Structure 1
Amino acid sequence: MRFNLRHLRVLLAVVETHSVTRAAELCHVSQPAVTQALSKIEAVTGEVLFTRSPQGLFANGACEVLAKRVRRALDFLDRAFEEVAPRLKVTATLSQLEALIAVREQENYTLAAKRLGVSQPTVHRAVSQLEREAGRPLFERTAYGIMASRAAQLLAQAARLALAELSQAEADLAESRAEERGRLVIGSMPLSRSYILPAAIARFRQQRPRLPIQVVEGAYGELLAGLRRGEIDFLIGALRDPPPIGDVEQEVLFYDTVVIVAGHQHPLAGRDNITVEDLAAFPWVVSMASTPIRQHFDQLFLHSAHGPPTSIVESGSLILMRELLGRSNHLGFVSGGQARAEIDRSLVTALKVDLAHTRRPIGLTRRKDWLPTAAQRLFLEHLRVLEPVR
């Protein structure tokens, strides 16, 4: 759905005042302009939004659903506008903000235009209009590309979140008509891809067979950035202690313990009383530095007489780990939940090493101010009732 920001402000004014006349005064427009704005929003949504009576206009159920998302979207924008330039509340358009986001992310006007499917002068003009109203440059040309100012970063972040809210509005309105719209975008860390997500998706699909689901994989930092921009609904995987930043919150689903895995031909397979020195003598496949599992790995060899292993392959790929273990004497240091299917299928074997001290929380990370749709809430419910991997 494609909205006009000024029309949305008019909508909220009518919802709050129940009066076209009063809304016109508050928004500094004519009464016919208010009526036209409401008609256009109803055309965009395909909904009748007000009950008309001699006492005024009263929001119906569909209108309340839309107004809740619109308030949240405008709150994000208005906080940024107040800091950058209050006049933008009146003048900024969604097209201008979309151009700002694209230039901020692409750091190039031509690439931003290709992403938006418009001409380069159109993007440049949109950003220039924002800069003129803001009374300051928003981007600076450097040898490395176009760099966003702090004001541009603030506006782009607020605009992303506002657009996410308006996108959620379409799903909310469809829900009120018993239709499916929108999609789920899930940030997936390695453990979740082996057990949690497949189980939750299978259950969810029994109730929502057609709703698109996108699983986004990547490094934790990349997924967290996408979450904070509103591009990802929530993350599933190992939680951080403390939480990485104040605008997200974490929820524990269950606890997981690390295991050491090897190929069945490995000299340590099946052995008892394996020492740290025994482990240090072999090459390893481990996760990237700064991940929670890697920290446990480094601590394991902290007091080893021979020091840490010197032959290490860094990878978050369970497939690569499995294949390398099957072809060599490498050892793998991996989440127990992530490796459970590989162990159960006899593709790898777990060594007899007690790693109970590596117990760590697995769960959800989401924005503190996130308001899920009905479908997103349903998916979270399925996650919460899943039994942890043993």
Structure 2
Amino acid sequence: MALSRSLLLPTALADLLVDAPNIQVDVVEGSYLELVELLRSGRIDVMVGALRDSPARDLHQQPLFADKLTIIGRADHPLAGGVAGFEQLADYPWIVARRASGLLERWQSMFDDAGKARPQAPIQCGSVALIRGMLVRSDFLTLLSPDQVAAEIHAGTLTCIRSVVPDTERLIGAITRRDWYPTALQEQFMAALRASTASLGS
């Protein structure tokens, strides 16, 4: 899933391939809903990404690290440098995650829990590359992990928008079938996943 594509999985695979250079790895990208049926059918072994608060009984979740979600906009956004209120946040369009995603639910609850109307969100998207491209060219806002746009924040093109809405956390981890019995190589991959969290500051 999205966060693991740019951070967790590349680190784990690089470490794994040092010890097992001749293996073949098939990385399948997609949303939770797209991947979970592939997992249940045995066509993929492990899902890596944001964990669910109430997973299905046939799935096992292994937390790896806590990821912070915050509001992101371009560095010279009109709300940059201040502390935005709900009304100010609603003055600008948003890019939000696709339907039936944990990230979309967290964005919705930001406003619902405060009894505020949700802002306009004309774009629903799961591609961080597209989101980054939209943010730097417009006044759009999004809810995202700063780690996913760390290069742009470091380069000064994007920034975290301070607001009255507190940052929220989500757990990132591995999801497997509860009846899954990993091979020795799969166990080695899971160990590489756990070890890679250290390089992410966990």
TM over 0.5: same fold? yes
For residues 1-390 of structure 1, the aligned pairs below 5 Å read 189-243=1-55, 245-271=56-82, 273-302=83-112, 303=114, 307-353=117-163, 356=166, 358-385=168-195, 386-387=197-198, 388=200
Aligned residues: 199
Deviations 1:227-283 (A, max 9, x none): 01111010001111111x222111111111211111122111222x21111111101
The residue that corresponds to 1:56 in the other structure is: none
CA distance, structure 1, for counterparts of residue 150 and residue 201 of structure 2: 7
CA distance, structure 2, for counterparts of residue 377 and residue 299 of structure 1: 37
Q: Following TM superposition, where does structure 1 have runs of at least 4 consecutive aligned residues deviating by more than 4 angstroms?
A: 354-357
CA distance, structure 1, for counterparts of residue 192 and residue 165 of structure 2: 29
Instruction: Quote the offset at 1:354 in angstroms.
Output: 6.2
Instruction: Quote the offset at 1:218 in angstroms.
Output: 1.2
- Report the identity percentage: 38
**Which residue identity is paired with 2:70?**
V
CA distance, structure 1, for counterparts of residue 107 and residue 136 of structure 2: 21
Instruction: Quote the offset at 1:311 in angstroms.
Output: 3.9
Q: Does structure 1 conserve the Cα–Cα contact (< 8 Å) formed by 2:12 and 2:192? A: yes
Q: Does structure 2 conserve the Cα–Cα contact (< 8 Å) formed by 1:286 and 1:334? A: no
| Cα distance change on mapping 1:275 and 1:240 into 2, 3 Å | same
- Structure 1 stretches lacking a partner, 5+ long: 1-188
- Structure 1 or 2: larger helix share? 1
Deviations 1:317-356 (A, max 9, x none): 1111111111111112113333334323434211123655
Higher relative contact order (CA 8 A, sep 6+): 2
**Which residue identity is paired with 1:260?**
I
CA distance, structure 2, for counterparts of residue 340 and residue 361 of structure 1: 19
Instruction: Quote the offset at 1:304 in angstroms.
Output: 5.3
| Cα distance change on mapping 1:355 and 1:372 into 2, 3 Å | farther
CA distance, structure 1, for counterparts of residue 65 and residue 104 of structure 2: 20
CA distance, structure 2, for counterparts of residue 311 and residue 379 of structure 1: 38
**Which residue identity is paired with 1:256?**
D
Deviations 1:77-131 (A, max 9, x none): xxxxxxxxxxxxxxxxxxxxxxxxxxxxxxxxxxxxxxxxxxxxxxxxxxxxxxx
- Structure 2 stretches lacking a partner, 5+ long: none
Q: Does structure 1 conserve the Cα–Cα contact (< 8 Å) formed by 2:110 and 2:165? A: no
TM-score, normalised on structure 1? 0.48
Q: Does structure 2 conserve the Cα–Cα contact (< 8 Å) formed by 1:277 and 1:304? A: no
TM-score, normalised on structure 2? 0.90
